[in-house]
Structure 1
C-alpha cells in the first residue's frame, strides 16, 4: 500500500475505534484471500435483537476495514458495510450461524492477479461462531464481486478467523 493508502486506512481505523462505544463491539479477524494474500479485518458492530420475528434471530450491523497485504504489490484496502442475519442455535450465548450481503469500497481495483474492474464490490458472507471467554470466536468465508456490473469480474474470497468482544 502507498503511504497515502496507509494514512487513509489509519485514519479510518482511528474513527472506527473512536465510534466503538456507540457501536458496542469490536471484531478483529485474520486470514487469507483466494490468492493467498494476508487479510486483516477490523470492524465495529451492534447486534439488534429480532425477537418479534423469532427468539433466536438477530441482525448484526457492522462497518470496518479490510486490509490486504501482498509481497508482490502494494496491497489494497476496503471500507465495509456488513449487515448479517444471525441464528443462535441454543440459548442466548450458543453457537451461531451468520449470513449476509453487504458492500465494500476498495482503494484499488486489483488484488494480486484478480481484476475487480470496479471499486465497489458486493460482500457475501457466511460465518460460524461460538462464545469464547468474554467474546465470540468465528470462522467466516466472504466473497467479493461486482455482480457483473463491469467485466472482468474476477472477484475474490477471504477465509478469516475472528474474535469479537464488547468494548
Structure 2
C-alpha cells in the first residue's frame, strides 16, 4: 500500500508540473461501468494545448492534457483508486453553436490495487488508451468514452480492464 501511495504522489506531482504552465483548467465528471459490473466515477481537470492543426472549413485538430482521479466501485473486490495523466488529441468539427468531436489519447495511470473484480493487472502502473466522441456547446461538453488500462505486457498476467463512460466537461 505504501508503494501505491508513493506512486500516486509521484503521478500527482508530475501532473502538477505539466499543468502549471497551462492557462485555466476545465473540470469534468464521468460515470461508467466495466464488463464485470464495476462502476467508475472519474473526476478530472483538463488543460487545452492552446494550438490547432489542420484547420479547415470541416474542422480542426486540437487537444488537451487530462489529469484524473477514478474511483472503482466493484461487486466482488474492494474498491480501487487510480490517478492518470494523458495527452488527448481531438478533432472538432466546425459548427457555430454545436461542435461534434472525436478524440483519442494514450497516457499513464497508477492504481492503488492490482485487482479489479476478476482482472489481475499485475502492476500498479498501467497505460491508459482512450477513444471517445461527443458534442461541445457554449462552455460545456457531453460525450461517451471507452478507456482501456493495460501494462502492455510488462508483467504477467496482464488482464487489463475497460471502462465505458458518459462524461460531462465544463470550461471556465
State the TM bucket, normalised to the shorter chain: 0.7 to 0.9
Question: Which of 55, 58, 76 is residue 62 of structure 2 equivalent to?
Answer: 58
Kindly provide the CA deviation profile for residues 23-63 of structure 1, in whole angstroms up to 9, marking residues without a partner as x: 42001000101211000111101122332x32201121110
Give the alignment's TM-score, normalised by structure 2: 0.80
Unaligned runs of 5+ in 2: none
Post-superposition CA distance 1:94-140 (Å, at most 9, x none): 10000000011000000011000000010000010102464000100
Number of residue pairs the alignment of both structures matches: 153
Aligned to 1:44: 45
Q: Which runs of 5+ in 1 are unaligned?
A: none
Alignment of 1:141-152 (within 5 A): 141-152=146-157
1:153 to 135, 155, 158: 158
Q: Distance in 2 between matches of 1:117 and 1:31?
A: 23
Asked if residue 79 in structure 1 is aligned to residue 71 in structure 2, the reply is no
Q: C-alpha offsets along residues 127-159 of structure 1, whole Å, 9 cap, x if unaligned?
A: 101024640001000110000000000000000
Which residue does the alignment assign to 2:71?
Answer: 67
Q: TM-score, normalised by structure 1?
A: 0.82
Query: Comparing 55-64 with 102-111, which one deviates more in the overlay?
Result: 55-64
- After superposition, the CA RMSD in angstroms is 2.5
